[in-house]
Structure 1
Amino acid sequence: MPVAASDTLKLSYWTVGRPACILIGRDFETMTFQTGASARRIALASALQIALLVVLASNAAAEKLVDPSAVAPEHREAAEKRRAEQLKLYQCTKKADEAKVLRRDRSAYINGCLDK
C-alpha cells in the first residue's frame, strides 16, 4: 500500500537513547522498530566473521619456498630460479627489518636491495 502525503513519520527517543520510528497514517497501525536487538546481532556476527577471516588469512599470507626437487623435470630450471628470487627477497626483507625501515619506505628499500 503506497504512503499518502497525509501520512506522518514521527521519530521519538526513549529514555535510554535508542530511537523508535513510529509511522502513523490513515490506514496504518502504529509500528515501532527497535534497533537494540538487531544492532547486537549484527555486531556479534561481524565479530565472528572478522575472527574467521583472520584465522583463514593468516595461513594464506605465508608464501612457501619452492622446492625444485618436488617439481616435474621440465619445470625444474624455472623452479630453481624462483627459489633463488624468493631467497633474495627474504634476505632483503630481513635487512629491512634489521635496519628498521619505515613501512612507507619499505618497498623502495627492498627494490633497491634486489637491484644490487
Structure 2
Amino acid sequence: MKQFMIITAIALAVTAPARSQALVDPNKVAPEYREAAEKRRAEQMRQRECALKADLEKVLPRDRTVYLNHCLDTVAAKQ
C-alpha cells in the first residue's frame, strides 16, 4: 500500500497542469485557413473579455453562463 501511495504522489507531481485553449494565431496557419483563424481569434478575445468582466464582478458560478451569454450577445449587438 505504501508503494502505491508513493507512485501515486510521483505521478501527480510529474503531470502537467491542464491549461485552457490557447489563442489561435492566424499567422501560424495555412493561408487558406487564415480567414477562419482570424474569426476564431476574434471570438476567443470576446469570450476572454466577458470572462474577465465576470471575474471582476465576482459573478457566482451558477450565474456565470447566463452572464457570459448576455455579455457576448451585448458585444455582438454593438458590432
Same fold (TM over 0.5): yes
- Where 1:104 maps in the other structure, the secondary structure is helix
Shift of residue 69, structure 1, vs aligned partner: 2.1
**Aligned-pair identity (%):** 50
Gaps of 5+ in 2: 75-79
- Unaligned 5+ residue runs, structure 1? 1-38
The structure, 1 or 2, with the larger RCO (C-alpha pairs under 8 Å, 6+ apart) is: 2
Give 1 or 2: higher helix fraction.
Answer: 2
Please list every run of at least 4 consecutive aligned residues from structure 1 whose deviation after the TM superposition is greater than 2 angstroms.
none
Paired residues in the alignment total: 74
Larger displacement relative to structure 2 (83-92 or 97-106): 97-106
Distance 1:111 1:64 in 2: 21
Max radius of gyration: which structure?
1
Q: Kindly provide the CA deviation profile for residues 39-72 of structure 1, in whole angstroms up to 9, marking residues without a partner as x.
A: 211111111222223xx1x2x4232211212222
CA distance in 1, matches of 2:52, 2:58: 10
